[in-house]
């Protein structure tokens, strides 16, 4: 009974689910949209052949207004705003600039405007009169308006756009008016970075003219310093995209670097440390320091400058890259025992670069040498393990088959218990040894005592075992 009611509840639930899904499908059904290519309006024995899709045409281009009729009709007209064009008049060349299409089959009420202009922009209705009825269909004609020039809404007075590498920058690009709205893309150098932008289009009037604003939100990287940021617009009226651009200046405090060691310096010769670093804007203070440790710098030499056997200098390589040099006349062993620090400060902060000078050979690159050997060994071990496992499995199949009778022996409960007991004791013993050892080490820190204690435990355990 219980089972039965469960089945009933389950099937009821299933039925409800099916009903819900069916209902949903019904709801989702939308009225068919205007993109359907040919819309046939039918009345008695007359039908219209009409495409409601809007037409985008540039001024000066030909505008084809197509409208076909199936069946008997009396006459047709085109209406736009308050103006009416009788198709028969058009075919008799009454309206200048309007003409008969080359093919009128399936386009019996079609007209051609030789050169579209702003006045043709708007909705056009084809109206067909038949016996006792009329048929109408409307389409939208967009006569384009060339976009105004794109404008980067930034301070261009410095010729560059200053952006930080630590916070997001907002850059706006706008096009005051265009019909239809323009497409806006962003580029940094050759790279398309439009994914970081949001575009907004606002109608400026009732005539289909839009203002477009695209806002780029992005954090720039120091390595992008000096690249060109461009806002690029595309439009039906433009053969090629139109751009507005500005170079960016990414400002950042001198970039941190790990300790640098210069090797194989020959004592007795002059030696020049050449150290590269990046910073933007230009460093306001640069110093080379040295001393017996990085914490204890005895001497500081400004850059450029000179002190004793040391000469300092800096070279600007452009785009925020600098080379600071420290020239040591007559390098000695004691110079190798010193520690060196290059201190660079700019508007955004100070960074200290640690430098060591060594007479030794550069150490063997552990990654290309040691690491590769290590990786090869690991791979070999893994391969061997896999082969061994495969082999073991292969052998085991034979073992199980041939030792079928020994199973009973293993499963003997008494024997099993004693086996386990012995094993557990053995494990306990070994751990006890370790524990004893650790205890004494921690408590006494005495090697000798540790030995005796362990031995004591050993004998103790042996006794209990016996
Ligand atoms: C410093 O930068 C220059 C220019 O990029 C390069 O030629 C030189 O090799 C660099 N020096 C060091 C030590 O990396």
Mean pLDDT computed over 178-193 = 97
* Tokens found for residue 234: 């595309």
Distance (angstroms) between ligand 1 centre and the Cα of 280 equals 18
Distance (angstroms) between ligand 1 centre and the Cα of 369 equals 25
| Strand order from edge to edge, sheet including 305-307 | 271-278, 321-328, 310-318, 305-307
Q: Whose CA is closest to atom 6 on ligand 1?
A: 276
SS (H, E, C) the chain: CHHHHHHHHHHHHHHHHHHHHHHHHHHHCCCCCCCCCCECCEECCEEEEECCCCEEECCCCCEEECCEEECCCCEEEEEECCEEEEHHHHHCCCCCCEECCCCCCCCCCCEEECCCCHHHCEEEEEEEEECCEEEEEEEEEEECECCCCCEECCCCCCCCEEEECCCCEEEEEEEEEEECCCEEEEEECCEECHHHEEEEEEECCCCCCEEEEEEEEECCCHHHCCCEEEEEEECCCCCCCEEEEEEEEEEECCCCCCCEEECCCCCCCCEEEEEEEECECCCCEEEEEEEEECCEEEEEEECCEEECCEEEEEEEEECCEEEEEEEECCCCHHHHHCEEEEEEEECCEEEEEEEEECCCCCCCCCCCCHHHHHHHHHHHHHHHHHHHHHHHHHHHHHHHHHCCCHHHHHHCHHHHHHHHHHHHHHHHHHHHHHHHHHHHHHHCCCHHHHHHHHHHHHHHHHHHHC
Closest approach atom of ligand 1 to CA 275: 13
| Spatial separation of the C-alpha atoms in residues 333 and 271, rounded to whole Å | 12
Which residue among 272, 318, 323 has the greatest number of ligand 1 atoms within 8 angstroms of its CB, and so is best to mutate? 323
CA distances from 282 to 40, 95, 304 (A): 72, 70, 14
Q: Whose CA is closest to atom 14 on ligand 1?
A: 276
Distance (angstroms) between ligand 1 centre and the Cα of 98 equals 71
Instruction: Check residue 22 and give its pLDDT.
Output: 45
Residue 396: band (very low, low, confident or very high) from pLDDT cuts 50, 70, 90: low
Q: Whose CA is closest to atom 12 on ligand 1?
A: 276
CA distances from 299 to 289, 292, 302, 338 (A): 6, 10, 10, 11
User: For all residues of the chain together, what is the average pLDDT?
Assistant: 81
Mean pLDDT computed over 303-317 = 95
Instruction: Check residue 45 and give its pLDDT.
Output: 82
Radius of gyration of the chain (CA): 44
| Spatial separation of the C-alpha atoms in residues 120 and 59, rounded to whole Å | 9
Distance (angstroms) between ligand 1 centre and the Cα of 322 equals 9
Angle between helices 413-443 and 447-465 (to 10 degrees): 160
| Spatial separation of the C-alpha atoms in residues 342 and 277, rounded to whole Å | 10
Mean pLDDT computed over 2-14 = 53
Q: Whose CA is closest to atom 1 on ligand 1?
A: 276
Distance (angstroms) between ligand 1 centre and the Cα of 331 equals 22
Could you report the per-residue pLDDT of 202-250, keeping only the tens digit for each? 999 888 999 999 999 999 999 899 999 999 999 999 999 999 999 999 9
Whether the pLDDT of residue 429 is over 90: the answer is no
Q: Whose CA is closest to atom 10 on ligand 1?
A: 276
| Spatial separation of the C-alpha atoms in residues 96 and 111, rounded to whole Å | 12
Cβ atoms of 199 and 185 within 8 Å: the answer is no
In this structure, the number of other CB atoms found within 10 A of the CB of residue 357 comes to 21
Which residue among 274, 276, 325 has the greatest number of ligand 1 atoms within 8 angstroms of its CB, and so is best to mutate? 276
Using the structure block, give the residue that is written with the tokens 């076909």.
68
Mean pLDDT computed over 411-431 = 41
Mean pLDDT computed over 453-462 = 39
Please give all residues whose beta carbon lies within 6 A of any atom in ligand 1, as ranges: 274, 276, 317, 323
Among the ranges 35-39, 105-109, 414-418, which has the highest mean pLDDT value?
105-109
Distance (angstroms) between ligand 1 centre and the Cα of 326 equals 15
Distance (angstroms) between ligand 1 centre and the Cα of 383 equals 43
Number of Cα atoms under 13 Å in the Cβ half of residue 204:
14
Question: By mean pLDDT, which of 32-46, 235-249, 348-362 is the weakest?
Answer: 32-46
Whether the pLDDT of residue 446 is over 70: the answer is no
Closest approach atom of ligand 1 to CA 323: 1
Distance (angstroms) between ligand 1 centre and the Cα of 122 equals 63
Closest approach atom of ligand 1 to CA 276: 1
Q: Whose CA is closest to atom 8 on ligand 1?
A: 276
* Tokens found for residue 285: 């203070």
Question: By mean pLDDT, which of 67-76, 140-149, 156-165, 449-458 is the weakest?
Answer: 449-458
Instruction: Check residue 427 and give its pLDDT.
Output: 40
Residue 380: band (very low, low, confident or very high) from pLDDT cuts 50, 70, 90: confident
The residues, ordered by sequence, that sit 6+ positions from 41 with a Cβ below 8 Å of its Cβ are 47, 48, 50, 135, 136, 137
Question: By mean pLDDT, which of 117-121, 376-380, 436-440 is the weakest?
Answer: 436-440
Could you report the per-residue pLDDT of 260-295, keeping only the tens digit for each? 999 999 999 999 999 999 999 999 999 999 999 999
Q: Whose CA is closest to atom 11 on ligand 1?
A: 276
Distance (angstroms) between ligand 1 centre and the Cα of 436 equals 60
Distance (angstroms) between ligand 1 centre and the Cα of 293 equals 27
Percent of the chain whose pLDDT exceeds 70? 73
Question: By mean pLDDT, which of 88-92, 147-151, 236-240, 369-373 is the weakest?
Answer: 369-373
Instruction: Check residue 431 and give its pLDDT.
Output: 39
Q: Whose CA is closest to atom 2 on ligand 1?
A: 276
* Tokens found for residue 355: 């430098």
| Spatial separation of the C-alpha atoms in residues 274 and 285, rounded to whole Å | 18
């Amino acid at each position: 009974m219980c089972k039965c009611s469960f089945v009933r509840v389950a099937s009821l639930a299933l039925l409800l689910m099916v009903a819900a899904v069916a209902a949903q499908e019904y709801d989702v059904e939308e009225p068919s949209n205007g993109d359907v290519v040919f819309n046939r309006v039918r009345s008695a024995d007359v039908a219209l052949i009409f495409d409601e899709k809007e037409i985008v045409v540039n001024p000066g281009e030909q505008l084809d207004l197509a409208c076909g009729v199936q069946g008997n009709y009396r006459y047709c007209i085109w209406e736009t705003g308050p103006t009416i064009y009788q198709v028969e008049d058009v075919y008799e060349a009454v309206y200048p600039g309007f003409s008969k299409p080359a093919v009128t089959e399936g386009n019996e009420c079609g007209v051609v405007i030789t050169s579209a202009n702003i006045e043709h922009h708007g909705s056009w209705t084809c109206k067909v009169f038949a016996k006792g009825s009329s048929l109408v269909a409307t389409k939208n004609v967009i006569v384009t308006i060339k976009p105004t020039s794109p404008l980067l809404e930034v301070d261009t007075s410095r010729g560059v756009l200053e952006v930080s590498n630590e916070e997001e920058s907002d850059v706006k690009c706008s096009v005051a008016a265009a019909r239809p709205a323009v497409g806006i893309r962003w580029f940094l150098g050759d790279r398309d970075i439009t994914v970081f932008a949001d575009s907004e289009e606002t109608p400026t009037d009732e005539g289909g003219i839009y203002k477009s604003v695209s806002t780029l939100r992005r954090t720039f990287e120091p390595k992008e310093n000096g690249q060109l940021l461009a806002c690029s617009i595309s439009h039906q009226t433009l053969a090629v995209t139109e751009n507005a651009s500005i170079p960016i200046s990414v400002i950042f405090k001198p970039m941190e670097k790990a300790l640098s060691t210069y090797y194989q310096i020959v004592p007795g010769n002059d030696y020049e440390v050449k150290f590269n670093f990046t910073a933007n804007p230009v460093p306001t203070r640069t110093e080379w320091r040295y001393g017996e440790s990085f914490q204890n710098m005895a001497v500081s030499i400004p850059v450029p400058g000179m002190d004793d056997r040391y000469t300092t200098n800096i070279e600007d390589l452009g785009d925020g890259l600098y080379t600071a040099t420290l020239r040591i006349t007559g390098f000695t062993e004691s110079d190798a025992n010193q520690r060196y620090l290059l201190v660079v400060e700019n508007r955004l902060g100070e960074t200290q670069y640690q430098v060591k000078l060594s007479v030794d050979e550069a150490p063997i690159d552990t990654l290309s040498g040691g690491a590769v050997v290590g990786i090869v060994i690991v791979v070999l071990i893994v391969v061997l393990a896999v082969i061994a496992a495969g082999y073991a499995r292969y052998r085991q199949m034979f073992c199980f088959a041939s030792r079928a009778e020994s199973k009973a022996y293993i499963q003997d409960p008494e024997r099993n218990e004693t086996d386990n007991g012995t094993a557990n004791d053995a494990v306990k013993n070994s751990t006890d040894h370790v524990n004893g050892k650790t205890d004494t080490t921690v408590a006494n820190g005495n090697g000798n005592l540790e030995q005796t204690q362990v031995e004591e435990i050993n004998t103790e355990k042996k006794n209990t075992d016996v």
